[in-house]
Amino acid sequence: MQQNVYQDIVRNIRAALGALELDKSLPLYQDSLTICDALENPVFRIAVFGPFNYGKSTLLNALLGQRTLPIDLIPTTGAAIHVKYGEELSAKITLKDGQVKSDRGTAILKQYAILDQERRMRNDVAAVEVFCPHSFLQIGVEFLDLPGTNDREEQDNLVRNQLLTADLVVQVLDARKLMTLGERENLRDWLLDRGIETVVFAVNFMNLMDPDDQKEVSSRMRFVAESFRSNLPPGISNLYRVDALPALRARLKGDAAAAQMTGLPMLESALQSIVGFHHEKTANWLPRLEAIASQISHAVTAKIQEITTDLALTEEKQANKIQVQQKAEKLIKQGFEGSVSELQSKLYLPNLLKRYEVEAIAALQQGQFRNWEMQFFQPAMAQYQQEITSWVNKACEFFNHPHPGTLTLKFPDSPSVTVPQTPSAPKSPKPAPTIPGEKSLDWLLENPVGNTVARSAYYILNRIIEPNSSTPANPATPVNPPDLPTVYKTAVEDYLKRFSKTAFLTLQDYEKIALSVIQFSPPKPSSDMVTKRYQLQLLQNVLEGLTQDLQFLKET
């Protein structure tokens, strides 16, 4: 597989990590990121690891032929140390805040790459690199010295994370402390689950044992090595005896014969053969790359299912809410229109006259119209106004709309009636004067002559007594007083007519405003739904890419 194919897979894995939004402390995230970083910086990396005080750093120093890494009687390695090619021996420390510390030699490692007094790693170190002028490193090989395992969880996590970047794992064993069956199976399962199949065992401290014990240990170690079935070139064993400290001493002295007795040359030869066999890093990375891509694919599939279910529930809830709001809109609008229709009926002038004219006239005649208006007429109208406004209140609350205000009908000024004064009655005619000294003139009327004389006298006397009287001979017809019931009736009708006209216009205007509030508008998708839909689309695209990658890896 060519390197550009790796880059495509790396891009898909990184895209999946971003879409999954995994906790960065999760092993899946750490493993995936580590593999991506390693693939983007292709070297053949040989990781040396094992429990504390098993001689890992001593073995590496022997392979490099000089004291490159710190070694002591107590376990000291407190960081993952990358040993790379350099024209001279030097070290570089990169801190998490971005600072870089570098120096000739490796003395700086004792400050940044060893454990503290409580056997804890420094938490401010991001990377430790050592540069060494060794021919084996010059061909693109990198050694990785790891902290000891079986001490603290944080060290174990660091080691396992770094092992994912290794092309070849050298597992250092102590011949005096052979692995138990449980330890062997745990290590095997952990490595194989991550696609790490290129493993070589280096057994240390055999030189400290009796010959008989050495034979027994060798037999048991072959059983351990065979159970791993390492992916190695033909004819290359996965089990080697190396006495690390004697090998380092022999190399420092330049004693090739002594070095040969330690088993170091056989291990070196095997490492060179493995590197040559895997000159293309791709062949060695296929199993672990397929394993991590498969895990990511499963995680993406699970996340897609989770988001799909969540979106379905959210959309169902929103659909139900929309359905409820649509029903509410219909019911509120029906109630509002019914209340408006009822008030319109009450405001119809004939109905107003029929219901209120008689009692309004009576109140007006008694001078109590204002009291009647405030105590009876206005409260009656307010009841209908409140009912209409209550429907608007429900709409604003249910649909979360701003309130347009309440319906308020205006009442005209109270009617006033001016009653004119009644005309005075005509004066009664004065009695006819009598003749002085006479008790009566009746005696004159008892005969025709007397009657004629009396009438003549009466006429003359009247003319003498009232010579300037202007009273007409025929008095005028008396003027009738005003028709008060009609006046009161007219005033009340005018009041109700003005109220009806104004109220109808007010109600019409309010109805237009209120109907714009009693209206349901389907809500826009929430920002959370938009984000999830985008994430779902992204995950589906990523899954499609990973599926193609996995198919390609299986066919390769």
Q: What is the DSSP letter of 116?
A: -
Domain borders along the chain are: 43-279, 313-418+483-517
Top mean-pLDDT range of 49-53, 177-181, 535-539? 535-539
Residues β-bridged to residue 171: 49, 201
Burial degree of 336 (CB within 10 A; 0-12, 13-18, 19+): buried
- Which residue bears the tokens 């430790």? 128
Write b or e for each residue in 26-39: b if 16 or more Cβ atoms lie within 10 A of its Cβ, otherwise e: eebbbbbbbbbebb
State which H helix or E strand residue 99 sits in. none
SS3 state at 130? strand
Pick the CATH number of 43-279 from 3.40.50.10490, 3.40.50.300, 3.40.50.970, 3.30.70.2740: 3.40.50.300
Q: Are strands 100-104 and 44-49 parallel, antiparallel or unpaired?
A: unpaired
Q: Which tokens hold the place of 84?
A: 């790379």
What band does 277 get if pLDDT is binned at 50, 70 and 90? confident
SS3 state at 76? coil
Q: Is 45 left (phi over 0), alpha (psi -120 to 50) or beta?
A: beta
Summarize pLDDT for 53-105 with one digit per residue, the tens.
888 889 998 998 888 877 654 445 657 889 998 889 999 988 888 889 888 88
pLDDT at 482: 57
For residue 122, pLDDT beyond 90? no
For residue 427, pLDDT beyond 60? no
State which H helix or E strand residue 81 sits in. strand 81-85
For residue 40, pLDDT beyond 90? no
pLDDT at 191: 73
For residue 442, pLDDT beyond 70? no
